[in-house]
């Protein structure tokens, strides 16, 4: 993940819409909507209940809702419940997933989607 330009501290609760440019790291609690044009990271102690739109997302903590990103990494201690719409998806050993995954794929010429 890129060096965060913004962060939400461990004892902070944010409700509403978080919009911005640059990487953001969450250690606290966030509820609502996230629109970040860079990396979005959820630390192991963090809880996010939101619709997340970011270039890349790394989940080490808990995320409920939806993730829309080019890349989603579900870290070893991460938990995701909801839907993810991504181009790349990586799950580390020990991660927990409960939900729906939709991947954006460029199919080879002559191959049709099901």
* pLDDT tens by residue, 64-82: 999 999 999 999 999 999 9
Quick: pLDDT tens for 21-56: 999 999 999 999 999 999 999 999 999 999 999 999
Average predicted confidence (pLDDT) for the chain: 92
Mean pLDDT calculated for residue range 84-94: 95
> pLDDT class for 112, splitting at 50, 70, 90?
confident
CA distance 65 to 42: 13
What does the pLDDT read at residue 81?
Answer: 97
CA distance 106 to 98: 25
What does the pLDDT read at residue 109?
Answer: 78
**Letter string b/e over residues 95-109, b meaning 16 or more CB atoms within 10 A of that residue's CB:** bebeeeeeeeeeeee
> What does the block give as tokens for 91?
């799950």
């Amino acid at each position: 993940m890129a060096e965060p330009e913004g962060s939400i501290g461990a004892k902070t609760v944010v409700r509403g819409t978080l919009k911005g440019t640059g990487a953001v790291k969450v250690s606290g609690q966030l509820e609502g909507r996230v629109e970040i044009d860079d990396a979005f990271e959820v630390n192991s102690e963090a809880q996010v209940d939101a619709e997340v739109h970011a270039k890349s997302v790394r989940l080490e903590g808990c995320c409920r809702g939806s993730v829309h990103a080019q890349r989603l990494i579900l870290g070893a201690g991460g938990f995701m419940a909801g839907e993810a719409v991504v181009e790349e998806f990586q799950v580390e050993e020990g991660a927990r997933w409960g939900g729906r995954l939709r991947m954006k794929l460029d199919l080879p010429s002559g191959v049709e989607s099901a």
